[in-house]
Amino acid sequence: MEFGFRTITTDGREILLNGEPIFLRGFNRHEDSRQRNMCTDLETAERDLREMKRIGANFIRLAHYPHHPGVLDLCDEIGLLVMGEIPLYQKGMNEERVENYDSTVEDAKWQLRRMIERVDNHPSVVFWSVSNETNEGIDDVVDGNNDLVELAREIDPSRLSVHVSNHYQRGDYCFDEDDVICVNAYPSLSQSIEMAERLWEERLTMLREEHPEKPILVTEFGHPSIEGVDDNDVYGEKTQTRAIAEEFSVLREAENVRGAVVWCFADHPWRGDRIIEWEFDARLSVSPFGVVTRDRKHLEAYDRLDELFSNVE
């Protein structure tokens, strides 16, 4: 039986791995492949993880549900730090989904316990995420997130406990219980890349002023592109590459930010009626945010990240 030891803690605005400051950089990943769809495919998972590691990634967020235990074995072996997450996703986004929220939280507590208990000795896992993009404008949702973060810490104090927010952009957020402030944003989807950089700076300044002694981890940022579309302001590979590169540079230099995680590694299926609104409406059956295609062909942004990640000290 293989085993390992490590410590993951925070000290003010720093995230410490074995007592040393670390800047996390890497990818979000769904369990999906062309061969097996959303069923477990450890062969593709291993190839993906080794590709991430090869270009300097040190972190992966297993979005938005517990992934197969074999993926954690691979992360232990390859040397990628992991955020595990339960599927409490975008809850409270409309009133009917807020009804009986107590029962939702109770279900989430059961899922959280099961996720933590089954990990056993996986030193690669350093974060527990209890929710993603829930509506923090609702008191019940905020209370639920806080209860879940506290429970994760109670069950497993050896890892960092967080929830992931996108509502902080509207002023709805509560990170009082979280070990690390985890946030998502895609400002370049609706703004110029230059404006996106300024928006990041404004939002991060707001968070830093509210919690000056907490580290910030940007758990999602990115931009879409479609394979073969080269120079296009909406879906071009060059636009995606520039957006990711310039936003990563801003995040890398921002005070308190101790990590930036690209959404996402590979294109994956989503609802066929999904609409992205820019200059036109696009109805797509595959999410176009990957830096590799669903067939794992490298896009231009993947090669640029090789340079960006590898240059992080």
Instruction: Write out pLDDT tens, residues 144-161.
Output: 999 999 999 999 999 999
In three-state secondary structure terms, 298 is strand
What pLDDT digit, counting tens, does each position of 106-139 carry?
999 999 999 999 987 899 999 999 999 999 999 9
Q: Does domain 8-265+300-310 fall into CATH 3.20.20.80? A: yes
The domain segmentation of the chain, as residue ranges, is 8-265+300-310
Distance between CA atoms of 105 and 153, rounded to whole angstroms?
A: 16
How much is the pLDDT for 247?
98
How far apart are the C-alpha atoms of 91 and 225, rounded to whole Å? 28
The per-residue pLDDT for range 43-68, each reduced to its tens digit, is 999 999 999 999 999 999 999 999 99
| Type of residue numbered 303 | D
**Of 89-98, 124-133, 153-162, 216-225, where does mean pLDDT reach its minimum?**
89-98
Query: Please, what is the average pLDDT of the chain?
Result: 90
Q: Euclidean distance between the first and final Cα of the chain, in Å?
A: 33
Tally of residues, the chain:
313
- pTM score: 0.94
